[in-house]
Amino acid sequence: MALLTALTATLLLMALSAGVTLTTITETMIAVNHRDGMQTLYAAESGIELAMSRLRTTADWTAVPCGGPLVQGAVLDARTAVVVSASADPGGNPDILVLQSSATLPSGIRRSVQVTVRRLPADASGVRAIETRSWR
């Protein structure tokens, strides 16, 4: 009788341990996927910031390759591939561009950001600032 009780208790503890282990592994994978998703989103946003930095030094926005990559490669680290492309304003305004940034990790996680920017009129010193009109 004591042997049967000991075996039953052992089996119950093994089942409980297996459940806790499975829950721990699942929670760890959820945390890893969330971290990678946030890192990918931040990489896409940094691609937008890099493209805007390059646009600040570009005098003629009509020369920006519309549809082609404005930024391409690893922005943050070698694991993250970032591509930023520019499109002309659908309304035809030469001072407005739509930037699309996509970041991808080797695990397949991908995040995209679309930003519409407008170049402001020149100030007294001739510098033209960039205004963000929308960020999605």
Residue 26 in this model has a pLDDT that exceeds 70? yes
pLDDT in tens, 96-136: 999 999 999 988 999 999 999 999 888 888 778 889 999 98
Nearest to 119 by CA among 70, 43, 69, 62: 62
Residue 24 has a pLDDT of: 96
Residue 22 in this model has a pLDDT that exceeds 70? yes
Partnered with residue 81 across adjacent β-strands are 104
Residue 124 has a pLDDT of: 82
- Domain ranges for the chain: 2-135
pLDDT in tens, 51-87: 988 888 887 787 777 666 777 776 667 888 999 999 8
Question: What's the whole-model pTM score?
Answer: 0.80
CA–CA distances in Å: residue 19 to residues 6, 15, 23, 67, 82: 20, 6, 6, 51, 40
pLDDT in tens, 38-61: 999 999 999 999 998 888 888 778
| Burial (Cβ within 10 Å: 0-12, 13-18, ≥19) of residue 110 | middle
Tell which phi-psi region holds residue 122, choosing left (phi > 0), alpha (psi between -120 and 50) or beta: beta
CA–CA distances in Å: residue 2 to residues 5, 7, 9, 99: 5, 9, 11, 73
